[in-house]
Amino acid sequence: MINVIASIQIKEGRLSEFIEIFKSNIPRVLEEKGCIEYVPTIDVHADLPPQQLNPNGVTIIEKWDRLEDLKAHLSSSHMLSYRKKTEHLVDNMSVKVLEQV
C-alpha cells in the first residue's frame, strides 16, 4: 500500500473556495482503480506541543493499492481539470509518498 501526504498552502482568504472545489472531485477519485482513501483535512487546535497551526493549510491524506495507481490518478482527466480550477488558489504544495516498513 502507498500512503500520500500532500500539504497545500492556500492563499489568504481562499480556503473555503479551495475546499469546495476539492470536495466536488472526491467522488471521481474514489472511483479510481486502487484508491482506498482520499481525504482533505485542516489543522485543529489540540493544545499539544509542539503543534504548529496553519490556518491556510490543507493536508490531503491518500491511500493507494499500488504506486502505478497513484501515477494514473495524477494524469486522470478529472485531476487535470481540478488543477486548472485551483491553481490560482494555491501558494505552494509539497507531497510525501510513503510506504510502510
What value does the mean pLDDT take over residues 36-62? Answer: 96
68 pLDDT tier (thresholds 50, 70, 90): very high
User: How many percent of the chain have pLDDT more than 90?
Assistant: 99
What pLDDT score was predicted for residue 83? Answer: 97
User: What's the pLDDT score for residue 34?
Assistant: 98
Query: How close are the terminal C-alpha atoms of the chain, in Å?
Result: 11
Residue 53 backbone phi and psi in degrees, to 5? -85, 140
Question: What was the pLDDT predicted at 64?
Answer: 98
- All domains of the chain in start order, with CATH: 2-45+54-99 (3.30.70.100)
pLDDT of residue 42: 98
What's the pTM?
0.94
